[in-house]
Amino acid sequence: MNDRAGRVWLFDLDNTLHNASHAAFGGIDRAMTDYIVRELEVSAEQADHLRRHYWLRYGATLLGLVRHHGVRAEHFLHHTHVLPGLEELVHGHPHDLAALQRLRGRKLILTNAPRAYALRVLGALGIARCFDAVIAIEDMRMFGQLRPKPDARMLRRLVAGLRVPAHCCTLVEDTLVHQKAARSIGMKTVWMRGGAAAAQGRCAAPGPTGACAAWASSSAEVTAPSSLRAAPGASRLGAARPAETSTGHARCAAGAAEEDPSSRRHAEGLCGVRGSCAEPDGIGCDII
């Protein structure tokens, strides 16, 4: 099997393919707090505390509400993602569509967001047709329980369902803990970088688009373009996310010319630059 043709690209959505910090996260966080106030009959201060506490403890506010308060996941997801006017706030770039179309292999969305929201965003971006499927949080159930990213069990089941080896799957993602989970089961990773790292000039000539990838023969660090660097970002399912930093040392590979030049150009097209190479926090984001 040709590895390029057989590769599966798993794209996160928020703050990977669009600037969700600008378009959605503020509204989602407010809707979550309002939901907790209304459904649990607590004060706004208590609701905000629960939202953040459950996100820190479980990785998703929703999981804590389901476990400790009997909240129905579908009810929560619907009422916290209504987001009037979302489409007017979501912005893409024609460059993204062209680059995604050139990228060889199957392409899927893998998001902790609900399906209806993901489809709205993809429609607003005009890139829905680039993807073979959308795997949303509703699809991440195992044994009757939600197992969203970064659950390694869910990722293993996903790989089994795709019927490809884990090393043929590449996760394109902005959240470091999700990257680590993917690498722990053998996936390749592309780490979307924004916030503080971008300000340090790790990507000297960021492209104009909302999707960003790089190509290197060894490891790569990917810095989000300016459209994604306007805000450090808030968690998809709960609290403000601290700015991500890298302690990894730069180690750009000299053997990039040995790769398939056309494939490398296609991936570079998603960002407009090759990007610098590094091992952020030791996870070594491979891009092949």
Quick: pLDDT tens for 207-217: 323 333 332 22
SS3 141: strand
- Identify the residue with better confidence: 142 or 277: 142
Q: How many CB atoms lie within 10 A of CB 72?
A: 11
Mean pLDDT of 153-171: 97
Residue 236 has pLDDT above 50, yes or no: no
Residue 189 has pLDDT above 70, yes or no: yes
The class that CATH gives domain 3-20+89-282 is: alpha beta
Residues 6+ apart with CB under 8 A from 200: none
Give the residue range(s) of CATH 3.40.50.1000 domains in the chain.
3-20+89-282
SS3 17: coil
pLDDT at site 41 = 98
Residue 38 has pLDDT above 60, yes or no: yes
Q: Are the C-beta atoms of 4 and 260 separated by less than 8 Å? A: yes
Q: How far apart are CA 202 and CA 209, in angstroms?
A: 17
Tens of pLDDT, residues 244-285: 322 222 222 222 223 334 333 343 334 332 233 333 343 445
pLDDT at site 4 = 62
Give the residue range(s) of CATH 1.10.150.450 domains in the chain.
25-80
124 alpha-carbon distance from chain centroid: 17
Residue 25 has pLDDT above 50, yes or no: yes
Alpha carbon distances (Å) from 248 to 245, 258, 273, 277: 9, 25, 20, 10
For tokens 């990257």, the residue is: 179
Query: What is the topology classification, in CATH, of domain 25-80?
Result: DNA polymerase; domain 1 (1.10.150)
Largest CA distance in the chain: 61
Residue 171 forms beta bridges with which residues?
Answer: 10, 189
Reported pTM: 0.72
